[in-house]
Structure 1
Amino acid sequence: MNLYKKVEETLASLEIPFEIVEHEPALTTEQADSFIEGIEGVRTKTMFLTNKKKTAYYLLIMDDHKRLDMSAFGQIAGSKGIKMASGDSLYEKMMLPPGVVSPFGLLNNEEKDISVYIDKEIMNEERMSFHPNTNEKTIFIKTADLLRFVEAIGYQVNVIAL
C-alpha cells in the first residue's frame, strides 16, 4: 500500500481533519518551509534517534529552528550515547527514507518499539506540519489531533522540556 494512502486512510478512520499541500520533493527543512510559506502551523522537525547500543529508538518532534542537545535528551530518555539512527534503521523500523521522518511513520512500526517525545515548547501551537510519509506533500494537523492519532495507533506521547 502507498505509505501516504495509509496515513490518509488512518486519519479518515479516526475522523481527524487535516490539510495537505502538494509540492516538489523537499530535501531539507528550509526547502519544505518555502513550499508552505504563509500557511498557519508550526514547522516541525522529527528526528529518529537511537542509543549507543541500538537497543532503543526514539521519535522526537520539535520546532524546526531549535537545535537538539543530544546528551540532555539522553538524560530525559534515560539513555546514554543518543545519536541519529542510521538510514537502514529508519527503513527497518518505519519503512521510510532519510528526510521523510514523521510521526506518521509509526504506522509502519509493527513492533511498536519506538518511544515518542514532543518538545513542550510547541504543544501550545494550534497546528503542526509534517511530511506524511512522503516528501512531496506537507500535512497540517491540529496538535490535539496529532496526539489522538499517535495514541490511537498504540503509542504513548511523552511531552518534555528540551
Structure 2
Amino acid sequence: MGYTKAQLLDRLRELQIDFDCYDHPAVLTVEAAGKHVGHLGGAFCKNLLLKDKKHRFYVVSALSGTNIDLKVLSQRLGLGKGGLRMAPEEALQELLQVPLGCVTPFALINESARTVSLLLDQGLKAHECCLFHPLSNDSTISLSPSSLDKFLTSIGRKPSYVDLEANTKVGKENPPDLADLVQSEVSSLSSQMEKVVSIQNNVSVGKSSDLTESSIQMEKAVSAQNCAVGKKSTNHTGAASKTKATPQKSLNTSNASNDAANVAKFVREVIDKTAAVVLSEINKADDQKKESHDSSVVDAVRKQITSDLENLTVILKNTAYTQGFQAGLQSSLPRKLG
C-alpha cells in the first residue's frame, strides 16, 4: 500500500516545508488543471513515466511548455536511439502506486519506486513556486523549488536539474552527459543469480537438499498466489462459486495467499531463504572464513537482486491475474450458452 495524499501532506508538515494545497475536480492533463488553479501563477509541471529497453524507469518532471525529444534524451542517458518509451499504465500502480494522471516526484517516497530515476527540468529553478499533484489528481500543491529539493533529500534523492531541451550530440568524443542520472541499483537478474551459483560452486557445495526445499517453498508460494488471483478474477466476472472447506484448510490457504499477494514480503522471504542457504554452505566449506565477509557477500547479492525479483514477481502476478480471468471467462461461457 503506497502513501496516500493525507500521509504525504503530513510528511511535508513534519519536514516543515511550506506549501499550499488546493482541492479541485479530478483532472488528467495540465490544461484541465489550469482551469482550476491557473490563477495561482505557479509553474505548471508535466510529469512523464518512461521506460527503457532494460526495464528501468524514469520520472521526468518538466515545465508544461518544455519540449522533450525522447530520442535525444535517450542518447544523453546512454541508452542509444529509441531507448526510451512511455511506460505502461500498470507501472504507475506497481512502481509509483498512483493512478493515471498522478505521476509526480512525490511518488518516489514509496519504497516500490526506489529504483526509478528522476530528471527535473532546470526551468523549474526560475520560478518561485511549482505546481504538482500530491499523489492524487483531485488536488494541487504549490511549493518552491527549494522546498521540493528538501523533500527529495529527505527520502534519499539528490535533486538533479537538467536542460531537457538541449540537443547535446553524443559520440566517441562526447559521452552521454546524463548517464550518471540512471539508477545503477537495477541490474540483470540473470547475471546476479549466476553470481550466487558461482559462489556456491566455489565453496564446493555438497548438499542440495536445503536449496531444493527453498525451491519447493517458492513454488508453493507462487501456487498460492495463482489460486488467490484466480479467485479474485472469477469474482470480477461474476462467475465465482462458494465452496465449503474445513476451517483449518481455509485458514492456511488464506494466509498463504495473503503472503504471496504481498510482493515485497514474498521477495524478502525468497531472498532470506536463499541467503541462509548460501551462508550455511560457505561456512560448511571453510570454517575459517570470517562471518562478516560472508555476510557482506550475501548483503551485496540481496541488494542487487531484490529489485529484479520484485519486478519479475509483479509480472508473474499480473500474468496470473490475466490467465485467471481468461480461464474464469472460458469456464463460464459453456454454462451460459447451455
Task: Give the corresponding residue for 2:41.
Answer: 40
Task: Give the corresponding residue for 1:151.
Answer: 153
In 1, distance between residues paired with 2:149 and 2:27?
Answer: 25
Q: What amino acid is aligned across from residue 157 of structure 1 in structure 2?
A: P
Task: Give the corresponding residue for 1:76.
Answer: 76
Task: Give the corresponding residue for 2:193.
Answer: none
In 2, distance between residues paired with 1:151 and 1:77?
Answer: 22
Q: What amino acid is aligned across from residue 94 of structure 1 in structure 2?
A: L
Task: Give the corresponding residue for 2:14.
Answer: 13
Q: Tell me, which stretches of 5 or more residues in structure 1 are unaligned? A: none
Shift of 1:121: 1.9
Mapped contact 1:112–1:154 kept (Cα < 8 A): no
In 1, distance between residues paired with 2:52 and 2:39?
Answer: 37
SS, match of residue 40 in structure 2: coil
Mapped contact 2:119–2:161 kept (Cα < 8 A): yes
In 2, distance between residues paired with 1:61 and 1:23?
Answer: 21
Shift of 1:109: 3.4
Residue 81 (structure 2) pairs with residue 113 (structure 1): no
In 2, distance between residues paired with 1:98 and 1:72?
Answer: 26
Mapped contact 1:63–1:122 kept (Cα < 8 A): yes
Shift of 1:27: 1.9
In 2, distance between residues paired with 1:98 and 1:108?
Answer: 16
Q: Tell me, which stretches of 5 or more residues in structure 2 are unaligned? A: 165-338
In 2, distance between residues paired with 1:109 and 1:71?
Answer: 29
Whose Rg is larger? 2
Shift of 1:11: 0.3
| Structure 1 consecutive aligned stretches of length 4 or more whose deviation exceeds 3 Å | none
Mapped contact 2:27–2:138 kept (Cα < 8 A): yes
Task: Give the corresponding residue for 2:87.
Answer: 85
Work out the percentage of aligned pairs sharing the same amino acid.
28
Task: Give the corresponding residue for 2:279.
Answer: none
SS, match of residue 160 in structure 2: strand
Residue 61 (structure 2) pairs with residue 61 (structure 1): yes
Shift of 1:111: 5.3
SS, match of residue 38 in structure 2: coil
In 1, distance between residues paired with 2:16 and 2:90?
Answer: 33
In 2, distance between residues paired with 1:124 and 1:37?
Answer: 18
Structure with the larger helix share: 2
Task: Give the corresponding residue for 1:133.
Answer: 135
Shift of 1:17: 1.1
Structure with the larger strand share: 1
Mapped contact 2:50–2:85 kept (Cα < 8 A): yes
1:60–1:137 Cα change, 3 Å: same
SS, match of residue 112 in structure 2: coil
TM-score w.r.t. length of structure 2: 0.46
Mapped contact 1:115–1:156 kept (Cα < 8 A): no
Aligned length: 161
Query: Deviations for 1:1-33, whole angstroms, at most 9, x for unmatched residues?
Result: 761012101101110010011001112211011
Calculate the aligned-residue CA RMSD, in Å.
Answer: 1.5
